[in-house]
Structure formats: C-alpha cells, structure tokens
Amino acid sequence: MRILAVDPGQKNIGLALSDETATIASPLTIIKHIKREIDAAQVAAIALERDAKLIVIGQSLDENGKPNFEGRRSARFAKALREQTDLPVELWDESYSTQYARQARIQMGVSRKKRRGHLDQIAATVILQSYLDAQR
C-alpha cells in the first residue's frame, strides 16, 4: 500500500511517497503553493496517479501538543483535500521535520552552497518515514 505524505508550506508543498510495502519513504516532488483548493486538487491528482491509498499531512504542534498557527493551516489543507478525494487523509506531527531534513543533507555531505534551496520534499520524506515507523 503506497502512502503519499505532504509537507504544506507557505510557498511550496513537499511530497514524498512510500514504497509498495509502506516501509521506505522517498522524496517525490515539490508543488508551488497557489491556492488551498488548487493545491488540494493537485495533491489528490498525484495521489491517484501514484496509486496511493492514504495521504498523510504534516501538522506542526506546540509544546502542549496542540496545533500552532501552521498546524491549523495544515488542518484547513486536510479539509480541502478531503473534499477533493475519497482517500483517507491523516494529520501527523511534523515537529522538527525541516530541521531533520537539513541535518540529513549535511550528513549526506551536500555542500553548503547546494544545501540552499528546497527542503520541502525532504521534510515530507521525514514526516512519512516517521509515520511508517510508528505504524510498525
């Protein structure tokens, strides 16, 4: 069962996809943020095209485990996505996913110059791998 993960951002939306066994997450692509409904339609189309059976959306939480400002934006995106697809949509704690993505690029030996740029699809991969690991 393939799972699609979404890291919704203000400018870009990172996507990651699991393998068929829902064991390993891999970066997929980045979508430019346009408007919530348009973004949701694009994500729904990609999920269908990639034969995903579940969509996981990263949601940032505060220190009390409640959605912060960005987390509430993720919840609104999830609502818009549910209106675009019949696939189940789950919110998943994305706390520190961007920092982990940045650290992963450093550990992979990516030069400082090349590290600038989008972390969105790597952050989506971190979110998805966290979800997959928790399901085992």
* pTM for the structure as a whole: 0.86
Reading the chain (136 residues) residue by residue, the pLDDT tens digits are 999 999 998 999 999 999 999 999 999 999 999 999 999 999 999 999 999 999 999 999 988 989 999 999 999 999 999 999 999 999 999 875 555 555 655 565 655 555 455 577 888 999 999 999 999 8
What is the rounded distance in angstroms from the CA atom of residue 88 to the CA atom of residue 132? Answer: 15
What is the rounded distance in angstroms from the CA atom of residue 11 to the CA atom of residue 106? Answer: 23
Q: For tokens 């485990």, what's the residue?
A: 65
Token couple for 41: 């339609």
Structural domains in the chain plus CATH codes: 2-135 (3.30.420.140)
